[in-house]
Amino acid sequence: MLYKRGRIDRERISGVIIFISLFAILFSMAGVRFLDVKVTNIELIDRGLYSIITDKGPVNIEQDDILRIERTYTKSAITGSPVELDKIYTTKGFIYISSLDPFYKMGKQLINSVDFEGKPIWIYNGTGSDGSLDQKQRVNLELIQPFSYAIGTSSKLVSVVFSILSLQYLSLAIGGLALMILIFPLRLESTLNSQSLILQDAEYSSDDEQLDAVAK
């Protein structure tokens, strides 16, 4: 009886934690979407100087501001034609552009101004790391960490964006842990029950064999 009550309490607590985690994740997703800044155009001001026009105002960047470029390729859901997605990390936030954007040609020019080989991942060569490629990648990821927000985001809201993202990651971790606590004991209990049934069947078979031997 106590075991059954404990199991019910555990299921209730885990269910409440999972529900709260899902609510926090949805809240954080809505917050990130609300605070997101969209790029509307890219203009060349001078050689090596570009103006990123956002719905919050223009932001000027130079070639030295670019820290990392990530290229991915997918297909359009409607036409099935290939689509290139580029994410440019700068010291003023990241720029997300697609080959379907009207300003993609200028964005491509910005990328080609630093990446002459068209690598899937281009990293800033001034990270100060002389080790292997994995070490350079690790150093570069640490370098762009403080700038993982959309370009044009107000400096007053950067801390809010990071707080919302931290809440999202924490909610995912807590919700996943609660789900494991909810599921794992049930699987363990079902395994133990199946093992006990096998042992009981073996005992019954042994008893039947003994009775047959006595009868003979």
Q: Specify if 158 maps to a domain.
A: no
76-114 pLDDT, tens digit per residue, is 666 667 888 999 999 999 999 998 899 999 999 999 989
Do 88 and 119 lie in one domain? The reply is: yes
Residue 130: its pLDDT value, please?
Answer: 60
Q: Specify if 92 maps to a domain.
A: yes
**Mean pLDDT for all residues in the chain:** 78
Alpha carbon separation from 136 to 69, 72, 113, 119 (Å, rounded): 14, 20, 21, 15
Structural Rg of the chain based on CA atoms: 29
Do 100 and 204 lie in one domain? The reply is: no
Do 143 and 83 lie in one domain? The reply is: yes
Do 42 and 147 lie in one domain? The reply is: yes
Do 148 and 179 lie in one domain? The reply is: no
Q: Specify if 80 maps to a domain.
A: yes
Query: Which residue in the block uniquely carries the two structure tokens 């959309």?
Result: 150
In this structure, are residues 53 and 42 in contact, taking their beta carbons and an 8 Å threshold?
yes
pLDDT of 177 > 90? The answer is: no
- Domain containing 85 equals 38-152
Do 142 and 190 lie in one domain? The reply is: no
CB atoms near residue 160 (< 10 Å) = 14
Do 102 and 127 lie in one domain? The reply is: yes
Confidence of residue 12 (pLDDT cuts 50, 70, 90): confident
Q: What is the dihedral of CA 35, 41, 44, 49, to 10 degrees?
A: 10
In this structure, are residues 110 and 60 in contact, taking their beta carbons and an 8 Å threshold?
no
In this structure, are residues 140 and 127 in contact, taking their beta carbons and an 8 Å threshold?
yes
Number of domains the chain contains: 2
Q: What value does the mean pLDDT take over residues 146-175? A: 85
Residue type, 186: L
Q: Strand runs (DSSP E) across 39-110, as ranges?
A: 39-46, 49-54, 57-62, 66-75, 82-90, 93-98
Residue 43: its pLDDT value, please?
Answer: 92
Residue 133: its pLDDT value, please?
Answer: 73
Residue 204: its pLDDT value, please?
Answer: 47
39-51 pLDDT, tens digit per residue, is 999 999 888 899 9
Which among 152, 185, 207 is the end of a domain?
Answer: 152
Residue 185: its pLDDT value, please?
Answer: 60
Closest CA to 206 of 198, 216, 192, 194: 198
Give SS3 for 8. helix
pLDDT of 213 > 50? The answer is: no
Residue 197: its pLDDT value, please?
Answer: 45
Of the chain, the percentage scoring pLDDT greater than 70 comes to 75
Closest CA to 67 of 45, 95, 40: 95
User: Per this entry, what is the length of the chain?
Assistant: 216
Furthest C-alpha separation in the chain: 105
Residue 137: its pLDDT value, please?
Answer: 82
Q: Specify if 157 maps to a domain.
A: no
- The Cα–Cα gap between 131 and 138 comes to 10
Do 112 and 49 lie in one domain? The reply is: yes
pLDDT of 135 > 50? The answer is: yes
52-77 pLDDT, tens digit per residue, is 999 888 999 998 899 999 998 887 66
Helices and strands counted in the chain (H then E): 4, 7
Residue 41: its pLDDT value, please?
Answer: 93
